[in-house]
Structure 1
Amino acid sequence: MTWMMPCERLLTMKPTQKLVFILCTLLVLGFLHYASWKIHLLVWSQKALHNIQATKEPLRKTLPPEDGNPSKKDCKKGYAAERMTNIYPKFVKKVPMFLDQNFRLLPKVKDYLPPFGLKTQEKHIEEILNTTKNYRLGKDLDSLSCKRCVIVGNGGILSEKNLGSHIDMYDIVVRLNGAPVHGYHKNVGTKTTMRITYPEGAFQNLNLYDKTSLFVLSAFKPEDIKWLKHMAFKERLRSTKGFWKSVANRVPQEPSKMRILNPYFIQEAAFQFMLLPKNNGEMGNGNTPTLGAIAITMALHNCDEVAVAGFSYDLNKPSALLHYWEKTKMSAIKESQTHNITKEKEFLKKLVKAKVITDLTSGI
């Protein structure tokens, strides 16, 4: 059989054969065109799906954060300190939160008695620190490059604010004295990073302690340091002389969870921020800040963003609740021989106005 080109073979075919050949050729070409279209459609669909999946996650990440949600927005590193230097140019951020074994080298506090310094208490402090063996917040919090802190005050203004879940979103939640948490979660949250107190303000009911949080002493008098020593060594108090009311005989926290607040914050808040009288370095004549103002001062040195909640002493509302957990009214406040509430309110208002701190309950 002689080999011929397709065109030559087509010329020799009979009419019926030509028709069959043409129809078969058209069917083959149609099938190939249809198949190529389907393959193209499949490839295009896969590429489109891939592009959607590739852009889906970045789009989610760029969605605007929920307003006021501290866990959803970028932490502004150094924000509070930067704002603070605008109104107090001599403000220096780096001041240790708690006393450590180098406490004797701390400037400005060694020459003052408590609450403004450490004079006469060095030996007791050293013994306490040797027992606690820890002087910082803890590994997880210390490793944060930017810290958001909230100081939860005890004011009745917290009642029915439903701020609990918001408060719990901060990296560090600071509570004061014996302000309870259990039963008030909706308004004050559940999280406690540290509780700053003094002997007369500490829980006497051992069931109220959160054993995972830090127990931080703010010493207002020499007896307070000695009291903490008894608590750290699990020793029963032999005397309560020097305290203005009954104090706890035991603190269920382990020594590793105990800290001593740097008294520099008390001195700075009193003499530099509020311009209270030095009174020869002794407590009295309204020259000592409240624990709330002290805690805020501490946070300004150690946190990048600082918020407060539950701060309000509005004497023009005598029927308002004084504390969120009890029925005592604002009218129960008397002129204090220890604190200057007027000067303190001016200081806190200055911080809010300058946007150094955020007042979550709008009570300052």
Structure 2
Amino acid sequence: MKTMKPTHKLLFVLCPMLVLGFIYYSSGKLHLNVWGQKPLYDKQGFLLQLDAKLPLELAYKYGNLSEGVCKPGYAAAKMTTIFPKFMKPAPMFLDRNFKRLGKVSNYLPPFGFKTQEKTIDNILTATKNYGLGEELDSLSCKRCIIVGNGGILSNKSLGSRIDDYDVVVRLNEAPVRGYVKDVGTKTTMRITYPEGAIQRPENYEKDSLFVFSAFKPLDFKWLKQMVFKEKLKNIDGFWKSVAHSVPREPTKMRILNPYFIQEAAFQFIGLPFNNGVMGKGNIPTLGTVAITMALHNCDEVAVAGFGYDMNTPHAPLHYYETVKMSAIKESWTHNISKEKEFLRKLVKANIITDLTNGI
């Protein structure tokens, strides 16, 4: 009987060890629970042990930047450390190549644009522009803030801090005039849908982008009528009254990439997939959709005016009206508690900065 060569012996011992080592390593990456090992990730794919400290490679990259200097690529890099499946490239707005966006082409609104391609093509021919504008698009590092509509913004005097950001995102009809001390004056874009859009033309800012987010096929028809200044027809199907005109030139109008609604709903929050169709409790709020967009397109992300505190039923729900917190019941479309869970992960891991500490 031949004796085994020393090199063969070594391979004989090493191979099983390598295989076992690979399985052990993969189990962490694939979120399996092997040999009683505690899982590293939750069912959505987020790291369970969230830490505001930077991992070594990021500490090395960003540690030497002086306080207050914009950190290029920071939000996406930090997001990848707690959610390895995160892929940064996702354009903010639809452009003329939108049909190539694989992740959204097979879904109906709100998770995609299926059946609406012709209408979108028409709209994009008129809007002609598909970015934030020359000045902002050329910045090598963008700091963005999403201003929520929460009553928590009242009497915080954050206006000047909000205006310091390169990109200020506002939602629906939340007013600026009369609330400048708390919410600032600057609006880079206002993200909205037909039922949420400002209805009185005089309440629009002078120079912000009108960014449209669709939740149903009918919404695109509405946008087309707004872009081409047509008389509003067929308004059955909206759940409340909608604006009859938008005082914006087509070149100042954009369509938000529906991928952010899809990613926020299914990847980040874990809402019911429902065969990719809008259903009970599977629509993220516009605020979370805007944060998702910023994680892909901004280098640093902050928020203000976020967070519903159900323990204070008499607190104002929004900073601009007297409706109380108790008015918000768990709605048919949103899952506020699951959404809060996701946003808390972002705050805890220091991916977003919450200026009003409401999340």
- Is the TM-score greater than 0.5? yes
1:358 is matched with 353
In 1: Cα distance, 2:245 partner to 2:206 partner: 13
Aligned-partner SS, 2:145: strand
1:117 is matched with 112
After superposition, the CA RMSD in angstroms is 1.0
Name the larger-Rg structure. Answer: 1
Find out whether 1:228 has 2:213 as its counterpart.
no
In 1: Cα distance, 2:263 partner to 2:100 partner: 17
In 2: Cα distance, 1:92 partner to 1:214 partner: 26
- 2:101 aligned partner, one-letter code: L
1:281 is matched with 276
Task: Pick one of 311, 317, 321 that aligns with 1:316.
Answer: 311
Find out whether 1:265 has 2:260 as its counterpart.
yes
Quote the offset at 1:76 in angstroms: 0.5
1:21 is matched with none
In 1: Cα distance, 2:90 partner to 2:222 partner: 25
1:184 is matched with 179
1:251 is matched with 246
**Is the CA contact 1:114–1:221 (under 8 Å) kept in the aligned structure 2?**
yes
**Is the CA contact 1:314–1:330 (under 8 Å) kept in the aligned structure 2?**
yes
Find out whether 1:169 has 2:164 as its counterpart.
yes
**Is the CA contact 1:110–1:118 (under 8 Å) kept in the aligned structure 2?**
yes
Quote the offset at 1:273 in angstroms: 0.5
Quote the offset at 1:73 in angstroms: 2.3
**Is the CA contact 1:163–1:189 (under 8 Å) kept in the aligned structure 2?**
yes
Quote the offset at 1:141 in angstroms: 0.1
Q: How many residue pairs end up in the alignment? A: 294
Moved over 3 A (4+): none
- 2:68 aligned partner, one-letter code: K
- 1:87 aligned partner, one-letter code: I
In 1: Cα distance, 2:114 partner to 2:273 partner: 16
When you count helix as a share of all residues, which structure comes out higher?
A: 1
In 1: Cα distance, 2:288 partner to 2:231 partner: 31
Find out whether 1:76 has 2:42 as its counterpart.
no
**Is the CA contact 1:211–1:252 (under 8 Å) kept in the aligned structure 2?**
no
2:302 is matched with 307
2:12 is matched with none
Any unmatched runs of 5+ in structure 1?
Answer: 1-71
In 2: Cα distance, 1:93 partner to 1:284 partner: 28
2:188 is matched with 193
- 2:140 aligned partner, one-letter code: S
Deviations along 1:318-350, one digit per CA (max 9) or x if unpaired, are: 011100001111000112110000110000000
% identical aligned pairs: 73
Spell out the pairing of 1:1-364 with structure 2 (5 A cutoff): 73-364=68-359
Quote the offset at 1:247 in angstroms: 0.3
In 2: Cα distance, 1:109 partner to 1:93 partner: 16
Aligned-partner SS, 2:271: coil
Quote the offset at 1:74 in angstroms: 1.0
- 2:83 aligned partner, one-letter code: Y
In 2: Cα distance, 1:94 partner to 1:280 partner: 25
Quote the offset at 1:211 in angstroms: 3.3
In 2: Cα distance, 1:263 partner to 1:188 partner: 27
In 1: Cα distance, 2:336 partner to 2:317 partner: 14
In 2: Cα distance, 1:92 partner to 1:145 partner: 19
**Is the CA contact 1:211–1:253 (under 8 Å) kept in the aligned structure 2?**
no
Could you state the TM-score of these two structures normalised by the residue count of structure 1? 0.80
Aligned-partner SS, 2:353: strand
Quote the offset at 1:170 in angstroms: 0.2
Aligned-partner SS, 2:102: coil
- 1:324 aligned partner, one-letter code: Y
Could you state the TM-score of these two structures normalised by the residue count of structure 2? 0.81
